[in-house]
Amino acid sequence: MAQKEQATANRNYKDTVFRMLFSDRQNLLSLYNAVSGSHYDDPEMLEIVTLENAIYMGMKNDLAFIIGTDLFLYEHQSTYNPNMPLRDLFYISSEYQKLVDHKSLYSSTLLKIPAPQFIVFYNGTEKKKDHWLNHLSESFENLSGEPKLELEVLTININEGLNKELMEQCQTLREYAQYVHCVRKYAKELDLNEAVKLAVDECIRNDILSEFLRANKSEVISMSIFEY
């Protein structure tokens, strides 16, 4: 029984190519700069606070970091999920628990915490818009008046051909979108295993994420098969 439960857990919490790619500080800083319009050049400015061991109902936080006075939660989704605001509520609560000394919550001094920003990077096939917003209040039953608790999530569509300005600002994101497009192109006519292997080889030949794919080829193939 324990072995079966462990196998299920491993399937549920398997890493993704997106998370692996942007766990690199330089890549993550490039993505942040592109999204925020900033021009930071020192990856050490990012304080990584990803909830590596925090798992809620089969969900795992992808990327979280603090820069300046803001805390950013980045999530990747290959299928549309309207429950991201609720998921992010769980994540941000855990982040704040880590950041705050619980004893000082009862003091007369106002605690300062980093302001949260919630962004989802979506590359599913269901939604075609460049970006959209979801709100926690959409989940409330029989909401009357203004919600007393709100959380807003911005979803950015990172499929190839969309959000061109953002893609121009972040080469790694653009090449990731090209890789995903390549996998789907081959998957239309071939077995998924073969499609992923061909996509990886083609991207390496065409200098698309080539260094990353060469260094992590077998792992990327395994993760892509699982994901798609």
Res 2: pLDDT: 41
Where along the chain do its domains lie?
2-166, 170-228
Res 10: pLDDT: 38
Note the pLDDT tens digit of each residue in 77-123: 999 999 999 999 999 998 998 888 777 788 888 889 999 999 999 99
The amino acid sitting at 74 is Y
Res 225: pLDDT: 92
Lowest mean pLDDT among 34-48, 68-82, 88-102, 140-154: 88-102
pLDDT of 9 over the 80 cut: no
Residues present in the chain in total:
228
- What is the mean pLDDT of the segment spanning 202-223? 97
Query: 212: alpha, beta or left, given left = phi > 0 and alpha = psi -120 to 50?
Result: alpha
Within a 10 A sphere around the Cβ of 213, how many other Cβ atoms? 21
Q: What pTM did the predictor assign?
A: 0.90
Res 8: pLDDT: 35
Q: Give the pLDDT band of residue 60 (cuts 50, 70, 90).
A: confident
- What is the mean pLDDT of the segment spanning 157-169? 96
The rounded mean pLDDT for the chain is 90
Lowest mean pLDDT among 23-37, 98-112, 139-153: 98-112
Q: Give the pLDDT band of residue 4 (cuts 50, 70, 90).
A: very low
By 3-state DSSP, what share of the chain in percent is helix, strand and coil, each rounded to 5? 50, 15, 35
DSSP annotation of 39 reads -
Q: Answer yes or no: are the C-beta atoms of 159 and 181 closer than 8 Å.
A: yes
Coil, strand or helix at 160: coil
Coil, strand or helix at 40: coil
Lowest mean pLDDT among 27-31, 48-52, 131-135, 177-181: 48-52
Res 104: pLDDT: 79
Res 1: pLDDT: 39
Q: Decide the pairing of beta strands 70-77 and 115-122.
A: parallel
Res 5: pLDDT: 38
